[in-house]
């Protein structure tokens, strides 16, 4: 069975080793998905985000868009149905990204249907660290919740609260079908 990791690796997105996942023991009920597959999918997402940033810096928007399209096709479950995607830093009012076109606009901007999007993946990200608080695996689905720490070229780290849901597709690939991201609560 091909996983998101092998699909993304086959597309040559692993030229940067900039992601890490901090260990947590998964709750597992009647599983066909392994914790290692879930963590590998998270690492693949982080490495793909860094790759899109690198491609933008080196080759401009066209190269970044091509990479982002390939990543979305390989990692997300838009072929299964709408993905429950709530981005972190999208322009107000918040627009959910249930289509691959919406996800692409969020990651690379430059889309007249989403004029407030400047391209989250174009912000010069250099490293991603995933810190899972919990992983829940049941049958052909897995869910995670925790923090993602994303480092930019200046060394500044942006931390977001992240929930991912994964579904194994008919071809055996692990696909993101839920992606909820928000900034941690601040009393300011």
> Which among 11, 20, 66, 65 is positioned nearest to 47, based on CA atoms?
20
Q: In whole angstroms, what is the distance from residue 163 CA to residue 108 CA?
A: 21
180's tokens: 């909820």
| Res 19: pLDDT | 62
pLDDT at 2 over 50: no
Based on C-alpha coordinates, what's the Rg of the chain? 15
3-class DSSP assignment, residue 150: strand
- Rounded Cα distance between 52 and 45, Å, is 11
- The continuous run of DSSP H or E covering 27 comes out as strand 27-31
Distance, CA of 60 to CA of 168 (rounded, Å): 33
Strand partners, 180: 86, 163
What token pair was written down for 112?
A: 């007249």
- 81 in the Ramachandran plot: left (φ > 0), alpha (ψ -120 to 50) or beta? left
Domains of the chain by range and CATH?
14-182 (3.10.450.50)
- Residue pLDDT, tens place only, 141-156: 999 999 999 999 999 9
Over residues 3-58, the pLDDT tens digits come to: 444 444 434 343 444 566 767 777 655 568 999 999 999 999 999 999 999 999 99
């Amino acid at each position: 069975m091909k996983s998101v990791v092998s699909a993304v690796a086959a597309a040559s997105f692993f030229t940067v080793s900039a992601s890490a996942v901090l260990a947590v023991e998964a709750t597992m009920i009647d599983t066909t998905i392994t914790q290692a597959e879930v963590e590998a999918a998270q690492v693949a997402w982080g490495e793909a985000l860094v790759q899109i940033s690198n491609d933008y810096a080196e080759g401009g928007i066209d190269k970044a868009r091509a990479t982002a399209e390939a990543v979305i096709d390989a990692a997300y479950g838009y072929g299964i149905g709408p993905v429950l995607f709530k981005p972190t830093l999208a322009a107000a009012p918040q627009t959910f990204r249930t289509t691959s076109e919406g996800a692409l606009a969020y990651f690379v901007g430059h889309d007249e249907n989403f004029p407030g999007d400047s391209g989250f993946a174009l912000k010069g990200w250099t490293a991603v660290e995933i810190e899972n608080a919990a992983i829940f695996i049941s049958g052909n689905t897995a869910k995670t919740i925790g923090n993602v720490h994303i480092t930019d070229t200046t060394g500044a780290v942006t931390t977001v609260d992240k929930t991912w849901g994964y579904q194994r597709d008919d071809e055996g690939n692990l696909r993101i079908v839920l992606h909820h991201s928000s900034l941690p609560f601040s009393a300011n």
